[in-house]
Structure 1
Amino acid sequence: MTNNLFRKKFDFKSIKFRLWIAFIGFALILILLIWCLQIFFLNTYYAGMKKAQTTEIFSDIQETFVASEYDSATLKKKIAVESASNDLSIYVIDLSSGEFLIQQDSDEQSEETPGLSMRYSKELAELNTRLSHSPLDKATLEASSSHSSRRQIIGYASYLKNSDGENAYAMYIFAPLVPVRSTVLILRSQLIYITIISIILALALALYLSNRISRPIKAITSSAAKMGKGDYSVKFRGGQYSEINELAETLTRAEGELEKTDMYQKDLIANVSHDLRTPLTMIKSYAEMIRDLSGDNPPKRNAHLSVIIEETDRLNNLVNDMLNLSRMQSRKVVLDMSHFDLQETAESLVASYDILRESEGYHIRFKCEGGPFLIHGDEAKIKQVINNLVNNAIKYCGKDKVVLIKLRRNGKYARFSVTDHGQGIAPDELPHVWERYYKSSTHHVRSTEGSGLGLSIVKEILVLHKARFDVESTPGKGSTFWFELPLDKSKQSAPAGPTLNDRR
């Protein structure tokens, strides 16, 4: 119990926890880098900077000396300024006499050793040796000061040229590195405070961002749980981030589709219950009539038995439709492929509707252009498609009771279409006409006993044949359902003229 409670409070796989770890880790890595750079590499960086600065100062003095037309007074003034500004000790020796022309110590060194001081005598001698053996006419030195072992210095030596371009003077520049240690100590104490403040800020920022990100996700999860229990009134709200907004919009669309599917399922149950109850009631009633009334009257008994047989067939067709659709959607149906003429198949089916012409006054017109239409497919399944489309048109045709059936060529395809002059289908219902539980809200002329599976079966059969199909409808004018199957080129002959079969 305690472990479960701990896991709920501290979910190590949650976004909040991962963000905490990420921010704290980033802060620690950044601070560690700063510590390394400031403490471990500061001496090296400072020494390199001092060397570059010393070389630059020498070049500046050289340029000033040349610009003053090699005036020694200007040289002394320039060296005094550079020494005071940069804490440098600078010595200049006249090569012709071997005497010191300039001995300029830094202010700090002058206070420590008043009077004439050769503080860097050993270092100067070492630099002078290196300079005399250098092919580049310059030398550098980095060592502990001979005056104080705790003081690190760097030295630079090179020649100043006269107006003839000859080496006239040797200049030696010394720079102390002592302030680095105290600077490191100051930085170390400051970095301790910076580290503490950075970790606190990282924790606060991680907490803020994690709550900002996880709050809408938790709300979406809660709404999804309610939706899973059948509550389709919940709203999915996003947050401040595009990804979460897209997730909320996707779930909102999914909620709408689930609500429609649930509604269609309920409609199916109601329709199937009605379609099952009606024939079952008829069967029971007529069976009771045979038992009680017409058992000894052959004409009446046969009539009652005929009704029972018709209602049984109706039940059988309904169950078969449901089973066939389920099998096709699970891709368990194997097509019995063969070559056949779509025109002949369509004509034979249209002929079966003559009973409607005679009994109810329907006009089913079949127009064929450019046959024959040899295709490769499952003829029985294509017959079922045509039958379902014609039945659908009869149910929803207009008061003129006219159904137009056309078969024509469309490039490499045979195009079959069924048109009615009914009330049409609303634009918002068009995307759903092929769905499994769909029934149009449009009123139909002829009483129907279907369960809303006919067009779904049409869709599944055409998908198995990889056919093209669609529906075009104008409210108040009617609808046209069509499909196209590829013609079998190897079996085609010359197209025949148009034929019209009008069954009035």
Structure 2
Amino acid sequence: MKLREHFRRIGIKWRIFAYFAGFTAVILVLLWVFQVVFLNSFYKAIKTREIRTSAQTIAKNIDSDDLSAVVQNLSQRNQIGIIVSDQNGVTYYKEDSLPNSVISRLSLFNLAQVYAATEAQGGTYFERLPRSFSTETYQHRLEPPKIESIIYAQIVEKKDGTNLMVLLNSTISPIDSTVNTLRVQLICITVVMLILSLLLALFLSRKISTPIIKINAAAKILGTGQYDVTFDETGYREISELGQTLNYAAKELSKTEALRRDLIANISHDLRTPLTMITGYSEVMRDLPGENTPENVQIIIDEATRLTTLVNDVLDISKLQSGTQPLSREDFNLTESIRTILQRYSKLTDYNISFHADEDVTVNADELKISQVVYNLVNNAITYTGKDKVVEITQSVRDGRVKISVRDTGEGIPQDKLNDIWDRYYKVDKEHKRAQIGTGLGLSIVKSILDMHGGAYGVQSQEGSGSVFWFELDIL
């Protein structure tokens, strides 16, 4: 168990090295086994199959006019002796390309005996002779050869019904010297292969593991919150792509962290201001006679309302982005809903808010959430409009969709920041500007609600010319 745990803790470099080294060792062991241990067995099996295949070839051509050429070709190509005879030992074809062939010394009587033995064994006869084609079997004493012989016989029937025996003889030469030669060669090859394989394994393990080790080290730094770390994008394709992905993630995390700090600073300011106002006016009303007036009470109520709105907005955007606030779709008159919302701004007499619509349109959406979208866009326009305090809302219908545009006459938004203003943590101007209405989270709420509805939205702005925020919904 401890050994397995220790192996798991081995670095990727040495683990790859061990895999390559183990693979090389297996290859060398197999090479030794097949080239030395089983070489003799393989050699004998190949010679046996060779002689059987030759017999089958002759059997297929037994009625051919080219049988003599077939026998001659097989004998010369495979270095074997071949005799085709009948049951009486009469030879029809004989070809001997094998030096000191055993069957070439057989008499007519011996051939007849082999025919009988082959017939008795079902038509085929095979024997491996370690020393001689013995006189005890065939009553013909021969000098024991120094090499092992293979005798194979097969009875073949011709088309005219007569039977002939195909007798073949091959030899298995001693391969002890060959094995010894191979053993010496394998020792040299093994030493060279071990050195080369270890060097190759070390090189490949370093080549493969180095980028991963670098990325792992950089990831540990990233985990500590240091988002300015840079991941190595060199190496093979997968590691390069991983490095690019992690660099992008580090960049986004760094951006998110900066925006999070801005959000905390902005919300802290928004929370502290109404709390300070509430505390200050409450202390004045408590300590100073005659200050308990309806005007002071109204200031406390307004600041408490502003504080409640801020907290509700923070909760709303958290719910929207977490997906815990489902949509409650219904058909409603969007145009009339916007008119109703704008009537509530009538007390802001110092703002010129206008609404232009050629017709009433009906949509299928969550009326409460779409109302939040309109409120937040109007609040945003009021917050950032110019000194003329003009806010213009326009409704247009085209291709089955309604487009609501909210225009202000403020300073506008730089082009490089247009894609960032919808972010939950983003604020265009780092100098905090307290909104007359709203909390500074409105655009993020707008984005989340419209994403849930599948509606399009966007902004058009030029510095010094104000901004136009818009969204689209399908109409019924």
Among candidates 268, 282, 290, match of residue 296 of structure 1: 290
- Equivalent in the alignment of 2:20: 23
- Equivalent in the alignment of 1:432: 420
Choose 145-154 or 321-330, whichever is displaced more.
Answer: 145-154
- Equivalent in the alignment of 1:210: 205
1:396 aligned onto 2:391: no
Cα shift at 1:193: 5.5
Amino acid in structure 2 at the alignment position of 1:429? K
Amino acid in structure 1 at the alignment position of 2:358? E
Cα shift at 1:393: 2.3
Amino acid in structure 1 at the alignment position of 2:372? Q
> Are the counterparts in 2 of residues 472 and 480 from structure 1 also a CA contact under 8 Å?
yes
Cα shift at 1:250: 1.0
> Are the counterparts in 2 of residues 92 and 103 from structure 1 also a CA contact under 8 Å?
no
Cα shift at 1:284: 3.7
1:62-101 deviations in Å (ceiling 9; x for gaps): 969779xxxxxxx9xx89x976x96555679899995899
Among candidates 345, 349, 355, match of residue 353 of structure 1: 345
1:10-40 deviations in Å (ceiling 9; x for gaps): 5357534553454345445545655565425
* 3-state SS in 2 of match to 1:354: coil
1:279 aligned onto 2:267: no
- Equivalent in the alignment of 2:105: 118
1:33-52 → structure 2 map (5 Å cutoff): 34=31, 37-38=34-35, 39=38, 40-49=41-50
Among candidates 468, 475, 478, match of residue 462 of structure 2: 475
Amino acid in structure 2 at the alignment position of 1:470? Y
* 3-state SS in 2 of match to 1:437: coil
> Are the counterparts in 2 of residues 47 and 177 from structure 1 also a CA contact under 8 Å?
no
- Equivalent in the alignment of 1:495: none
Q: Distance in 1 between matches of 2:416 and 2:127?
A: 86
1:248-397 → structure 2 map (5 Å cutoff): 248-292=243-287, 294-296=288-290, 301-335=293-327, 338-356=330-348, 358-359=349-350, 362-377=351-366, 379-397=367-385
1:115-264 → structure 2 map (5 Å cutoff): 118=105, 141-144=126-129, 145-146=132-133, 147-148=144-145, 151-155=148-152, 174-180=169-175, 182-184=177-179, 186-187=181-182, 190-191=185-186, 194=189, 198=193, 201-264=196-259
User: Aligned Cα RMSD in Å?
Assistant: 4.8
1:360-404 deviations in Å (ceiling 9; x for gaps): xx4433122332425342x33222210101111233345664433
* Structure 1 unaligned blocks of 5 or more: 68-74, 160-166, 490-504
- Total equivalences in the alignment: 452
Q: Distance in 2 between matches of 1:102 and 1:335?
A: 99
* 3-state SS in 1 of match to 2:229: coil
CA separation of 1:57 and 1:189: change in aligned 2, threshold 3 A: farther
Q: Distance in 2 between matches of 1:437 and 1:95?
A: 105
1:142-162 deviations in Å (ceiling 9; x for gaps): 522423596132557899xxx
Q: Distance in 2 between matches of 1:407 and 1:303?
A: 38
> Are the counterparts in 2 of residues 436 and 452 from structure 1 also a CA contact under 8 Å?
no
Cα shift at 1:348: 1.3
Amino acid in structure 1 at the alignment position of 2:384? Y
Amino acid in structure 2 at the alignment position of 1:439? K
